[in-house]
């Protein structure tokens, strides 16, 4: 077994620091998910509505967020808000703002897709049975929409967790940053540490996202 420099993780509180970094990444994505999913549900529902002006702006918002690399969005919020508004958000807050905007945009498109994929006849056959509008949504449309949405939105959540690896660029000390610090600090003592530490980072990301993926797969099978 080649020397992977795994011993550096045993030094001091290095492993704990790495886990702390993961904790920050998870905290940012969790907060963003919790805000962006209801927001996405709302925006997505509005996107299927009749208001043309509103739909235009929502579409514009979605396309803007989609076209911009997340890193550019992070820079825009982190540096831009200082220049434009004279307000300096912390890196973590900037990250939460960007991830929420991004999550809400992507989620709204998923919701829109799920809603329009419900055939108009499902509404009509519900109506024909005498269901009220509320009952139609409650018993027929929402259960079907949610079944379509859950695997998709879980996929979005894992993407958000993974993308937190970018936020070190605006000075947030998350897992990748901690890993870099550990590697740098031990460059002479354990020159191979880069392999071992990034391997551990890989495993930790995997452990964070894999159960979520499994859940998505399970739900997809159950409701597919």
Where on the chain is the footprint of other proteins (CB under 8 A)?
119, 121-122, 124-132, 135, 139-140, 143-144, 147, 223
- Which residue carries 């993961």 as its tokens? 22
Q: Torsions phi, psi of 191, nearest 5?
A: -65, -20
Cβ 55 to other proteins shortest distance, Å: 21
Query: Which CB, 127 or 192, lies closer to other proteins?
Result: 127
Query: Which CB, 131 or 173, lies closer to other proteins?
Result: 131
Cβ 214 to other proteins shortest distance, Å: 22
Query: Which CB, 51 or 125, lies closer to other proteins?
Result: 125
- Residue 205's contacts (CB-CB under 8 Å, 6 or more residues apart) are 22, 161, 162, 165, 175
Cβ 113 to other proteins shortest distance, Å: 17
Cβ 131 to other proteins shortest distance, Å: 6
Cβ 143 to other proteins shortest distance, Å: 5
Q: Long-range contacts made by residues 201-204, C-beta under 8 angstroms, separation at least 24?
A: 201/18, 201/175, 201/176, 204/18, 204/19, 204/22, 204/175
Dihedral (Cα; 194, 195, 198, 204), 10-degree rounding: -140
Query: Which CB, 2 or 130, lies closer to other proteins?
Result: 130
Cβ 160 to other proteins shortest distance, Å: 28
Query: Which CB, 1 or 120, lies closer to other proteins?
Result: 120
Query: Which CB, 59 or 147, lies closer to other proteins?
Result: 147
């Amino acid at each position: 077994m080649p020397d992977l420099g795994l011993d550096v993780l045993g030094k001091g509180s290095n492993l704990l620091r790495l886990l702390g970094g993961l904790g920050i990444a998870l905290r940012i994505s969790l907060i963003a998910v919790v805000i962006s999913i209801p927001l996405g549900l709302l925006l997505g529902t509005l996107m299927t509505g009749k208001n043309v002006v509103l739909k235009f702006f929502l579409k514009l918002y979605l396309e803007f967020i989609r076209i911009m690399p997340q890193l550019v969005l992070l820079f825009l919020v982190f540096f831009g808000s200082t220049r434009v508004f004279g307000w300096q958000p912390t890196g973590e807050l900037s990250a939460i703002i960007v991830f929420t905007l991004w999550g809400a945009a992507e989620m709204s498109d998923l919701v829109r897709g799920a809603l329009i994929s419900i055939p108009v006849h499902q509404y009509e056959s519900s109506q024909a049975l005498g269901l009220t509008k509320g009952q139609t949504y409650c018993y027929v449309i929402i259960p079907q929409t949610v079944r379509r949405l859950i695997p998709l939105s879980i996929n979005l959540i894992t993407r958000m967790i993974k993308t937190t690896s970018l936020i070190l660029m605006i000075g947030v000390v998350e897992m990748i940053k901690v890993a870099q610090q550990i590697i740098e600090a031990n460059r002479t003592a354990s020159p191979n540490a880069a392999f071992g530490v990034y391997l551990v980072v890989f495993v930790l990301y995997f452990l964070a996202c894999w159960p979520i993926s499994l859940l998505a797969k399970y739900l997809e099978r159950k409701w597919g």
